Structure 1
Amino acid sequence: MKKIDKILIGSLALALSASFSACQKDFLDRKPLTEISELDVWTDPNLTKAFVARIYEEMDHGFAEVMISSLTDESRFIHDYNTSRVLQGNISPDEHGAAWNFADWGKFYRVIRNTNMYLENIEQVPFSDENDRNQLTGEVHFMRGYNYFALLRMYGGVPLITETFDLNDDEAIQAVTRNTYEETVNFIVAECDKAIELTNEETPRGVVNKSAARALKSRVLLYAASDLYNKPGNSNALVGYTSGSQADRWRAAKDAAYDIIETNLYSLYDKSEDPSENYANIFLDKTSEETIFAKLFDKELLGTSHDLYNGPNGYNNWGGNVPLQNMVDVYQMEDGTNFSWSNPTHKAAPYENRDPRFAATILYNGAPWKQRGDNGIGLDPVGVIQTAQYEYWNGSSVEVRWGLDTRNSPIESWNGTFSGYYLRKFMDITLDAQFIRGDQDWIYFRYGEILLNYAEACIELGEEGEAKKYLKMVRERAGMPGSTVDNASGQALEDLYRYERRVELAYEGHRFFDARRWMTAEEDFSKPAQGIIIYGELQPDHETLIYSYTVDNIQDRDFPEKMYFMPIPIGERRKNEQIDQNPHY
């Protein structure tokens, strides 16, 4: 009898212990976990559920050490980990650099193989309630669609494999070819529709339901309607449409987003009078009515190390994915006007009176933060971010100190920011991240994105009045004036929409794909990464500091045309030459 691989066995054991503890003892009395076979899985509903739990476990999420934002103009990963290869446009079929973390062809297909295995065997599982079988099957259709979408957004059209075969079966492997972009999109949409049909509308947190499937469908169709995949005269069906109407595709994207809006099941998070607090708590409040589908973390199990990976070095954290000045400068002033270093008022106090989402997303010099650890509280009893160099009066003369969160920190220096900033978004201010893991949810889909998806489709269809209605909802929740939306039209409205999407969804994994599908990446991602140099000059009263700010280039970057799609891995093409390579590789 064929045995399930050791990784899967271990995951089944973990899933059973975490999710099915009530029945674990009876199962363990019958057979050791190391002897689980495929037959066992399909004869025991609890093992089948554990098998699906493993598929959930393998879903990528944004709390990895290297965030996808650090392959964009949002942030820089200070430890590199081969991110620079991607940022300088040097990837190739045999070297994806850090992009491989998000384009792992083999990993996605391994998960897809497990979904296929489930769908081939589910009918023989003796469920006592058919609703359980339908719900679980709907979840698996969603997962298969999600993993194909993860491939699609990186590579374009990919081979659509819907049955299991032995990975050593050379004949089967040689028969595999890439499906077109259109065929891949249609397949994912069909998987979403099947999930919508089979799942319940109400499920426990973190379990796929109809709205999660609708949200995936909305994102897929939004991407599919975008310019990158609808180039006039395109003759390569693997990387875009070669026929049909782009307007029809925008209508499909609009309808898919509205399918969620009209359920009235979700709303924008708005529990506080402080819009910055509202925005921060979207990602911390597990009762958020904005969350559609999320990955859950438990401190008692694995938890998440997001705060440790990205917190300031002066708090004994690792620095990690530090926001760039490129992103900081994007945030508007609170009156809706653009920030400018040429404006003397802005330059004198660049972090004041900004879009409220700024303070909830970025830790900047002087930002209030948590209490320092034992090795820092004596130097900073208040708990504010220090990324500047500044003068102080020692009683007889002026001396110069480096802030506790700089690369010259007296606490830790190896993990200081290059840019002058740290990430605030997703962070739990109550957590001592040096020692304790977090339990924040990673939100895959939220209502704010759906409203933006709908507004974008309306703008592209020329339905500006409808677009403004939903764009204002997102902007006004953030404490920004809706009048700027009312007064915009044409290109100005599109620019304002793209501003809202970039700021509202910052660091959530969207920018990498949005700049590509809008075909602005060649310009946006070829600009040098920038940081800030801050110096505090002591005034004659020996107490007051006046800060000066100098924008500094900290990393050269380049985005050649080939980078709009990832190259098919050379290993896959060595196994099967029928898999065509993407353009320019």
Structure 2
Amino acid sequence: MKRYFKILLLLTVVSTVSLSCEEYLDVSPELGISTEEVFTDYFSTRGALDRATRLIHNYVYNDTDWSSEIGCMSDEMQISRTQFPVHWAMNTGNWLDSGFRDLGGMTYDNVGAEFNGNDIPAEPVSKAFVAIRAVNNVLANIDKLEEFPTELGYTAQELKDQIVGQAHFLRAWHYFTIVKRYGPFPIMNEVYDPSTDFDQPRPTWLEGADWMVSDLDIAINLLPVQWNDQNKGRVTKTSARAAKAMVLLYASSPLMNPDLNPFGSSSKQYNTTYAERAAAAAAEAINGFPAGGYEMFTMAEYTENWRSRTSGFPKEAIIQAPLSQGTDPNGSGRAGQGWFLPQFAGGWLAENQPTQNAVDWFETIDGYDVNDPEAVTSGSFDPSDPYSNRDPRLRASVSVHGDDLYPGLPNPRPGAARTLNALPGGWHYNYENNRNKIWAGYYSKKHKWPGCNKWHRARGWFRMFPHIRVPQLYLDFAEAANEAYGPNGAVPGSSLTAVEAINIVRARANMPPVLAKYTTDKETFKQRIYNERAVELYHEQHRWFDIRRWKIAKEVFANGIWGADIKMVNGQVVYDKKPMEGALRVFEDKHYWYPFPTRVMNIMTQFEQNPGW
């Protein structure tokens, strides 16, 4: 393990230097800059820390950024080309040493290899190692800071507190990026060098969670409620509280509690002690919304979370990836389109399409699950017209058969049909199948802006990727509160119950409160919480982590990955669904955690591989 970290350290140093022109973080005698010179000055210290902020992965930054589209690893999306490594790894169950995309983040060759001077993204885990090293460097030298500007509107103590608060937040956030994929990992709270002895056993996930919470508590104490206009978008007290709630919710989850849910068992118990702590943390964050300036958009403004005519930070975004990209760079006009835009419209040949599984998550406008027989008998759901009378978030997120793919725009140039036609023989059906692609019958819409295609190349839109939004806090609260106190139990520190919290999210979408039949007990209501998360956080890189931490991934995949099956029968369009050929997900108990690469484990002594690998 010591040898592994020596290699990791070398690569992180190299990659950190190459990330930006701000080379003062990794000083050396050859550069002629001393540690004292770097860390005595406020702006150079803040610049060193801001590197860790920029390393929060942004899924919509580069023109073809699809580097970690993980929806296709769950039942949410389906990658259209079976030979692509992500799908190949999932289809065969061969995750070990796959070294590609999200599964390759712990391969130490990737820590430095994918960085270059243009900040082309590496995998989130690779970037997290670099970021944690940067943060620890700042914290180790913070007492050298003595030169503060006077023009920023803050006192010297406030400026120092802001740096320390951001540092502790960023260390917890990047560590969380690692452990939600790979499971327990040694706590990284110092600047490591080749002489450091890393030969140590792994902590438990809960021990790591407690360390993250201690960092976030420091951040909560030191960060401002709001920043001035010069610093909009930096993390706040509410950001740290939101991250704390998320960490504790994960810590309460079945996967993170092997004592309650042993490896290979079907047990799915929550840790109620951590659920209580998660509910309290989420309540604290929610109580801070008004002062922090956070609130939900109306449904008419829903898409402002991801695309806007104005640059900046959406009012729902509590934690947002930096470097939000406009659609103008280099004249391309398609920033970050590679992981959702169809190939015929200018996307990569392996775009990800929504599954029928995902479409079925969206309830009827009356609040019925479409798979509930009462949805049909009550007249709320019409199987012959399945996309009508549905949760408005469906049509805001997914393009379905019969939709105009270019609303409000002139026709595209010859080569693409305007109306989505998923019928056999239809333009889009033929396009996908003639290229030997898996065809789900739907296209993604949530992250597309008007004119996001190779014909119109719309300018003037700005792209954002929030990692935590306001509604997620209500959903985090609802899940934790339900486990600790039941659907309608009082929650200390909050005026909300679990049911009331989820209804706030639904109300924004013009959806009714959860039907009483779905709130009768903890287990019944839990299914609606899971479903509401899938709907509200659709295509925001949450589903894959949720089905793993809930320990339901095996069941989900056993039920199949489905696509639309739309046919003409006696002159009428008939809507059904069918398993997508080639969309199999091989998932065993061992797949709940990513495996550490073989060459890493070959040099370990006390550090243990994840179960089953």
Aligned to 2:317: 291
* CA deviations over 1:323-374 (Å, ceiling 9, x no partner): 1112112222211222259969733222221111111111122222326999
1:74 aligns with 2:98: no
3-state SS, counterpart of residue 551 of structure 1: strand
Distance 2:13 2:260 in 1: 47
Distance 1:15 1:476 in 2: 49
Aligned to 1:132: 159
Which of the residues 8, 16, 27 maps onto 1:8?
Answer: 16
Task: Compare 424-433 and 212-221 and name the one that shifted more.
Answer: 424-433
Distance 1:339 1:144 in 2: 42
1:529 aligns with 2:561: yes
3-state SS, counterpart of residue 580 of structure 2: strand
3-state SS, counterpart of residue 248 of structure 2: helix
Distance 2:441 2:32 in 1: 54
Aligned in 2, Cα 1:111/1:267: closer, same or farther, shift over 3 Å? closer
The residue type paired with residue 21 of structure 2 is A
The residue type paired with residue 477 of structure 2 is Y
Unaligned runs of 5+ in 1: 17-32, 237-243, 390-400, 540-544
Task: Compare 134-143 and 214-223 and name the one that shifted more.
Answer: 134-143
Distance 2:474 2:560 in 1: 32
The residue type paired with residue 396 of structure 2 is A
1:48 aligns with 2:45: yes
TM-score by length of 2: 0.78
1:459 shift after superposition: 0.9
Aligned to 2:552: 520
Aligned to 1:565: 593
Distance 2:13 2:70 in 1: 30
The residue type paired with residue 322 of structure 1 is Q
* CA deviations over 1:551-580 (Å, ceiling 9, x no partner): 242312221011111122223323432211
Which of the residues 277, 280, 304 maps onto 1:252?
Answer: 277
The answer on whether the counterparts of 1:89 and 1:558 sit within 8 Å (CA) in structure 2 is: yes
1:484 shift after superposition: 0.9
Report which of the two structures shows the higher radius of gyration computed on alpha carbons: 1
3-state SS, counterpart of residue 269 of structure 1: coil
Distance 1:194 1:91 in 2: 41
Distance 1:485 1:205 in 2: 42
Aligned to 2:439: 418
1:34 shift after superposition: 7.3
* CA deviations over 1:378-409 (Å, ceiling 9, x no partner): 5778x4333334xxxxxxxxxxx531x34527
Task: Compare 179-188 and 292-301 and name the one that shifted more.
Answer: 292-301
Aligned pairs for 1:313-392 (under 5 A) are 313-318=343-348, 320-340=351-371, 346-370=382-406, 376-378=412-414, 383-389=418-424
Distance 1:176 1:98 in 2: 28
Distance 1:307 1:40 in 2: 42
1:584 aligns with 2:603: no
Aligned to 1:445: 468
The residue type paired with residue 302 of structure 2 is Y
The answer on whether the counterparts of 1:307 and 1:428 sit within 8 Å (CA) in structure 2 is: no
Unaligned runs of 5+ in 2: 1-9, 25-29, 112-125, 149-155, 264-268, 489-496
1:99 aligns with 2:102: yes
Aligned to 1:489: 520
The residue type paired with residue 248 of structure 1 is T
3-state SS, counterpart of residue 431 of structure 2: coil
3-state SS, counterpart of residue 73 of structure 1: coil
1:206 aligns with 2:233: yes
Aligned in 2, Cα 1:407/1:487: closer, same or farther, shift over 3 Å? closer
1:422 shift after superposition: 1.4
The answer on whether the counterparts of 1:372 and 1:380 sit within 8 Å (CA) in structure 2 is: no
1:118 aligns with 2:121: no
1:10 shift after superposition: 4.3
1:141 aligns with 2:161: no
The answer on whether the counterparts of 1:292 and 1:445 sit within 8 Å (CA) in structure 2 is: yes
The answer on whether the counterparts of 1:471 and 1:485 sit within 8 Å (CA) in structure 2 is: no
Distance 1:101 1:559 in 2: 18
3-state SS, counterpart of residue 335 of structure 1: coil
The residue type paired with residue 256 of structure 1 is A
Aligned to 2:217: 193
* CA deviations over 1:441-484 (Å, ceiling 9, x no partner): 11011110101111112111234221111111111211221151
* CA deviations over 1:471-500 (Å, ceiling 9, x no partner): 111112112211515862213222222211
* CA deviations over 1:129-176 (Å, ceiling 9, x no partner): 23222212211111111111112212222111222233xx2x524534
The residue type paired with residue 321 of structure 1 is N
The residue type paired with residue 88 of structure 1 is N
Distance 2:45 2:159 in 1: 11
**How many equivalent pairs are there?**
535
1:259 shift after superposition: 0.7
Aligned to 2:153: none
* CA deviations over 1:410-444 (Å, ceiling 9, x no partner): xx975976211111112212444675686311101
Distance 2:518 2:76 in 1: 28
The answer on whether the counterparts of 1:293 and 1:443 sit within 8 Å (CA) in structure 2 is: yes
3-state SS, counterpart of residue 130 of structure 1: helix
The answer on whether the counterparts of 1:534 and 1:548 sit within 8 Å (CA) in structure 2 is: yes
The answer on whether the counterparts of 1:269 and 1:290 sit within 8 Å (CA) in structure 2 is: yes
Aligned in 2, Cα 1:321/1:469: closer, same or farther, shift over 3 Å? same
Distance 1:5 1:308 in 2: 30
Distance 2:345 2:464 in 1: 23
The residue type paired with residue 252 of structure 1 is R
Aligned to 2:494: none
3-state SS, counterpart of residue 578 of structure 2: strand
1:190 shift after superposition: 0.7
The answer on whether the counterparts of 2:356 and 2:562 sit within 8 Å (CA) in structure 1 is: yes
* CA deviations over 1:22-44 (Å, ceiling 9, x no partner): xxxxxxxxxxx977665543244
Aligned in 2, Cα 1:85/1:487: closer, same or farther, shift over 3 Å? closer
Aligned to 2:478: 455
The answer on whether the counterparts of 1:62 and 1:508 sit within 8 Å (CA) in structure 2 is: no
The answer on whether the counterparts of 1:268 and 1:477 sit within 8 Å (CA) in structure 2 is: no
Distance 1:385 1:234 in 2: 45
Task: Compare 82-91 and 62-71 and name the one that shifted more.
Answer: 82-91
The residue type paired with residue 422 of structure 2 is T
Distance 1:433 1:46 in 2: 41
Task: Compare 187-196 and 513-522 and name the one that shifted more.
Answer: 513-522
Distance 1:487 1:94 in 2: 43
Distance 2:234 2:189 in 1: 23
The residue type paired with residue 388 of structure 2 is E
The answer on whether the counterparts of 1:15 and 1:54 sit within 8 Å (CA) in structure 2 is: no
1:315 shift after superposition: 2.2
Distance 2:226 2:260 in 1: 45
Aligned to 2:120: none
1:264 shift after superposition: 3.5
The residue type paired with residue 39 of structure 2 is W
3-state SS, counterpart of residue 48 of structure 2: helix
Aligned in 2, Cα 1:306/1:413: closer, same or farther, shift over 3 Å? farther
Aligned to 2:206: 182
Aligned in 2, Cα 1:43/1:8: closer, same or farther, shift over 3 Å? farther
* CA deviations over 1:285-334 (Å, ceiling 9, x no partner): 55643221212413366997333441233423336121111211222221
